[in-house]
Amino acid sequence: MRTWTAMLLALLALPVSAADLTREVPDQFLGDWCTEPQQLEEDTGESDIRIGKSEIAYYQSTAKILAAAASGDELALIVQLTVDGDTRLATHEFELSSRGDKLTSLRPNGQLVIRRRCVPPGTPPNNSFKPKPLRGSA
């Protein structure tokens, strides 16, 4: 817990000129981010995330964003995560590619995670879903 407190204090101590501290995530980081297939990884969907203005959603949970610091193409988050009734703090650091289509983060084990936008920004939703006819009908 001391590590998280130290990181929180360090984040809050950043000068405003170096990073903008807020509770909301800047627009360029918002959206659905899908992991790229990695060797020996069966279901990459478990590492997909959705970043919203005030929350981040993971495979099976959602966390409230307590603080966000952004500087250019870098974003640091402090989140409150509740899993199986246990609430804890977690931090995330992300780097956005110059084109805004890739988001890179670092796992605790030191492995880089590269995610791409699941749907490119500005793409209208596909509302052309047509249900399949039931078997034996028509």
What pLDDT score was predicted for residue 104?
95
Whole-number pLDDT of residue 127: 46
Report the predicted TM-score, pTM, of the whole model to 2 decimal places.
0.68
Distance of CA 9 to the CA centre of its chain: 22
Give one DSSP letter per residue of the chain, joined into a string: -HHHHHHHHHHHHS-TTT-EEESS--GGG-EEEEEPP-TT-S-GGGG-EEE-SSEEE-SS-EEEEEEEEEETTEEEEEEEEEETTEEEEEEEEEEE-TTS-EEEEE-TTS-EEEEEESS-TTPPP-----PPPPTT--
Q: In this predicted model, what pLDDT tens digit does every residue of 26-58 receive, in sequence order?
A: 999 999 999 866 555 555 577 899 999 999 998
Q: How far apart are CA 29 and CA 75, in angstroms?
A: 8
137, pLDDT greater than 80: no
Inter-residue contact 70 to 29 (CB < 8 Å): yes
Q: Which residues contact 14 (CB under 8 A, 6 or more apart)?
A: 21, 69
Please name which of 18, 25, 104, 96 lies closest in space to residue 63, comparing C-alpha atoms: 25
| Token code pair at residue 117 | 């936008």
> Could you state, in order of their start, the residue ranges of all structural domains in the chain?
2-117
pLDDT for res 30: 95
